[in-house]
Amino acid sequence: MDYSAKLDEAIQQLHDEGRYRTFIDIEREQGNFPHAVWNKPDGTKQPVTVWCGNDYLGMGQNPVVMDAMHEAIKATGSGSGGTRNISGTTAYHKRLEAELADLHGKESALLFTSAYIANDATLSTLPKLFPGLIIYSDALNHASMIEGVRRNGGAKRVFRHNDVEHLRELLEADDPDAPKLIAFESIYSMDGDFGPIEAICDIADEFGALTYIDEVHAVGMYGPRGGGITERDRLAHRVDIINGTLAKAYGVMGGYITATDKMCDAIRSYAPGFIFTTSLPPAVAAGAAASVHHLKSDQDRRDQQQQQAKILKLRLKGLGLPIIDHGSHIVPVMVGDPVHTKALSDMLLDQFGIYVQPINFPTVPRGTERLRFTPSPVHGPEEMDKLVNALDELWSHCALNRAELAG
């Protein structure tokens, strides 16, 4: 086989479909978030404002977090030097797991190198623990959940997004005695809509199923202590396994699950994605623990972020831009074409110093390509004005549709 020609072909296909991904090289400026410097391909630099990051609360540059990381580096050095089982468990990992278990009101927590790995490793391990397990997975679940369910060798059923009646039909069609698990998210990050947690917990009770929720886009952001939508809606006790990330609102890196002691013990002992990989650097665990701890009491920051999202949505709606609004902190503006989305993103960056990455297939279905804005408490009024004016100008310039897609 001509391997090189095959690679050319695969890459060309992405160009032809307008979804070849170009990574924008940016330098975040410590203490100056959301401002950054764009290292342009021609070697020059341009100041930009980041509008598409998932450091939703600006915690990635919070002194509380950075101090904890500096102290841990001074105390222990850089890497952990081992897997959790072989010399890679430290007081920092233990403290972070305790913070997380407490955050969700669960007995235990288990750290992974990312939430992607936490989802994949846990969901692919559960059928080993519950032979014959059937997993019911929401159609719009994140790639990491899909991958975990796909690889686990057990049975899977995909229910239409947020459609509890369809879920019921699928549950009814299966053996009542088979072990079952329902996997879904609390906030679907591309549309910003919420999962029907209570209805899913009710149906899980009815059919004797376990529940697994991905709260990646909600932890730190919702609930009086940042425990996510399950905390906000007082449902955490009804969900068997809660998954979250330390890389978005908490501004660091890493992922986790929280559950009973027994569940965490079993996953810890059977999941290759937990066992056979080096644990997080202690400094990362220290920073994440400081961030989780801090956000348990910093409600102001959560309120400011929600306020910013509301203002941005109102202003964009006022201009008739096609935003999706489900009342969460995520602000997607629909474009519906990969080439146009990329062109808009390029113009925003080049002409206005506004960095928003185009979102296209396979992250979202074809025909729903979009720009996804993530306002934070530190995007000031000036930045907001610049963004709104730039979008207004570009929408007119490109003669784009201004009809609103109500959520």
Ligand X SMILES: Cc1ncc(COP(=O)(O)O)c(C=O)c1O
Active site members: 248
- Half-sphere exposure (Cβ direction) of 223: Cα atoms closer than 13 Å: 25
Q: Using an 8 Å Cβ cutoff, are 308 and 300 in contact? A: no
Angle (deg, nearest 10), helices 63-76 and 282-295? 150
H-only helix segments in 177-281: 197-207, 229-232, 261-270, 272-275
Q: Which stretch binds ligand X (CB under 6 A): 191-199, 214-222, 324-332, 340-348?
A: 214-222
For the window 254-293, what string marks contact with ligand X as x by the rule CB under 6 A? Answer: -x--------------------------------------
Pick the closest to residue 195 from 147, 240, 229, 232 (CA basis).
229
Closest CB to ligand X among 123 and 334? 123
Residue type, 311: I
Say whether residue 328 binds ligand X (CB under 6 A).
Answer: no
Say whether residue 60 binds ligand X (CB under 6 A).
Answer: no
Say whether residue 247 binds ligand X (CB under 6 A).
Answer: yes
Q: Which one among 99, 214, 231, 325 touches ligand X, defined by CB under 6 A?
A: 214
Say whether residue 142 binds ligand X (CB under 6 A).
Answer: yes
For ligand X (CB under 6 A), the number of binding residues is: 14
How many secondary structure helices (H) and strands (E) does the chain include?
Answer: 14, 16
For the window 166-205, what string marks contact with ligand X as x by the rule CB under 6 A? Answer: -------------------x---x----------------
Q: Which one among 90, 114, 186, 328 touches ligand X, defined by CB under 6 A?
A: 114
Cβ 152 to ligand X, closest distance in Å?
A: 17
DSSP 85: T
Burial class (CB in 10 A: 0-12, 13-18, 19+), 28: middle
Closest CB to ligand X among 253 and 319? 253
CA distance 287 to 70: 9
Q: Which stretch binds ligand X (CB under 6 A): 77-85, 154-162, 209-217, 339-347?
A: 209-217
CA distance 344 to 121: 37
Q: Which stretch binds ligand X (CB under 6 A): 175-183, 213-221, 329-337, 347-355?
A: 213-221
- Half-sphere exposure (Cβ direction) of 324: Cα atoms closer than 13 Å: 22
CA dist 248 → 51, 283, 291 (Å): 14, 17, 11
Closest CB to ligand X among 60 and 179? 60
DSSP 333: E
Say whether residue 115 binds ligand X (CB under 6 A).
Answer: yes
Q: Which stretch binds ligand X (CB under 6 A): 66-74, 131-139, 212-220, 310-318?
A: 212-220
Say whether residue 363 binds ligand X (CB under 6 A).
Answer: no
Cβ 158 to ligand X, closest distance in Å?
A: 16
Binding stretches for ligand X (CB under 6 A): 114-116, 119, 142, 144, 185, 189, 214, 216-217, 245, 247, 255
